[in-house]
Structure 1
């Protein structure tokens, strides 16, 4: 049975939970980055003037924190019945590499500042989306973002981190990495930065637990 972690710091909490239950396969643990994934889709949809359902294959790399990297280099958007690459559809590289990324990274804080409350409904929707894909799989030709255990072989991310990757899920409730996506230098830097934060969180958590 899959185990899911949604409380912050979600990635490291999930990793520690997996280490505390060594008889359960690490692949059965996942943490929620679907809220960030949904926010990335929504920002692209708003920018182009379509619905979020018209945007697919956004990626959230790394930590559910302000270092996360929302990546749309491989995302598609349906415009007038035709799918285009997001960079082609938006036609504003500066916005995609600056304002878009920071907006998604800081969206949670912005909601709290504006409402004095967290985005509980959006988080609940994201949890439902996450669980639905675990149980029913991802649609053909689509992938989603999920914090899962790294194996040291995918996209240069160190092993033994709960890191958000693009994944596809099958109806037997298993996931696999989307492999072979080209990573440019801009993305590499962002992906490594959030991996560094997760490594530091892991080291701090392990040290604390060893002395507690």
Structure 2
């Protein structure tokens, strides 16, 4: 969750890429984290968003992370499709994740003036090498064709499905082969099948939700 939030934040301003659909993307990150921990699964064998298969909890025992526990409890309340869960889970995640990144020293809070008049808060990246190392792993997969570890593949799938990948600042390499490679990972061509299915369905739900928001915005401005 924190890794995705960190990647989305502009390193100079702290403004997140694809901010209009951020709750869906962050909600997806939580579902993916639960899937990687083996704590959620999906019904059926169709990875398409059309049927929006229900997400269910698996495993027992409390989770160490309170944000994951809250999401797990939400999934356990009643059967819901991934698309519905994204907003239920992701709508309140921005502030807690920002606070975690501040506590870890990966971003800092600054007060700035725009045009010398208007005050604003900025959340620039610190000098930590944590994010650059994460970006290097992503570029190695997308540009050099390296085999991804599970978490790097999941991060790329989330960034690709949300449409945020080309908007990251500083920008990652962007080309037709990179787009193709990102889509392959988004569609589950990596890792264990059970994890692939959960991640692929979450990515599909994010893509559909993002498209729906985009259509709504475009329609309302025309």
Q: If the length of structure 2 is used for normalisation, what is the TM-score?
A: 0.35
Higher helix share: 2
Of structures 1 and 2, the one with the larger relative CO (CA 8 A, separation 6+) is: 2
* TM-score (normalizing by structure 1): 0.36
Higher strand share: 1
